[in-house]
Amino acid sequence: MKVAVVQFKASTNKEENLKKIVSYISKASSKNATLCAFSEFMMFYTNSSQTSKELESLSEKINGNFISTISQAAKENHIQVVGSFYEKSKSIDRVYDTSFVIDHLGKVISTYRKIHLYDALGFKESDKMIAGSKIAKPVGTSIGKIGMMICYDLRFPEMSRALAVAGSEVLIVPSAWVDGPMKEEHWITINKTRAIENGCYVIAPDQVGNIYCGRSLVVDPYGKILLDMKKKQGIGFVDIDLKKVKEIRKVLPLLKSRRIDAYSTLKS
């Protein structure tokens, strides 16, 4: 099955970005992709000067105009869409960083609120966001069972392993990976590692421009990079073959070979 990966530079204007998103969905469908994946913060770029109150005022609920418009585009183009948005929370001046999966009929079939906030390397997402409390169960799509992660989650191997054990054949990771010393190297290494250690595909659409490094990736279950979008805005296409997941997990049975009984003997 063909997946479309969108890499673009989100502006601070939500409506401007939404128009681009709808256009990308149409283009992905015209090329016979069955799923279109977008990056983290696709809704709009929030710069350091934007206050938590300002961010909260622009956020929406899952049934708001942003997701409803994308759902309608998915239905009209008969394509599944994965992406993220700033979701309103009950906390004052804090939002969730939430990813979503919309099916080809325009129905939201899964959401995931980012559990690992990027409070590292000079950034503090918790100043404006609130963390989710649970990992979303893998959900069936045209490209297989997908597990949802967001950006900084990649640095925590426990999460991808839990999703793989729960049945994920593909990990989709909407990201806005901040540029900086060694950051692109970290990005590529971590995406490849998550694919290799779990015997699954990793699809990681990334923001480009502003403060982000781009390099949206698709990695196969053996660690081969099938797509690297470098610094270009646009759409990349990759065919996902679930037979490869089964083959790799058979010859390199990492999930089956785990010694959970022995791991628990290590006392802190």
Active site residues: 40, 114, 151
Beta bridge pairs of residue 213: 208
Type of residue at 197:
E
Residue 51 tokens, joined: 């206050």
Q: List alpha helices for the chain, DSSP H.
A: 14-30, 52-58, 65-77, 157-165, 183-198, 242-251, 260-263
Q: How would you classify the pairing of strands 2-7 and 139-141? A: unpaired
Task: Report d(CA 7, CA 205) in Å as an integer.
Answer: 6
Residues 6+ apart with CB under 8 A from 254: 197, 198, 199
Summary count for the chain: helices (H), strands (E): 7, 14
**Contact criterion met (CB below 8 Å) for 109 and 80:** no
Q: Is 195 helix (H, G, I), strand (E, B) or coil?
A: helix
CA distance 29 to 52: 36
Largest CA distance in the chain: 55
How does strand 144-148 pair with strand 139-141?
antiparallel
Contacts of 107 (CB under 8 A, 6+ apart): 71
Q: Which of 163, 209, 260, 148 minimizes the C-alpha distance to 8?
A: 209
> Whose structure tokens read 């994920």?
168
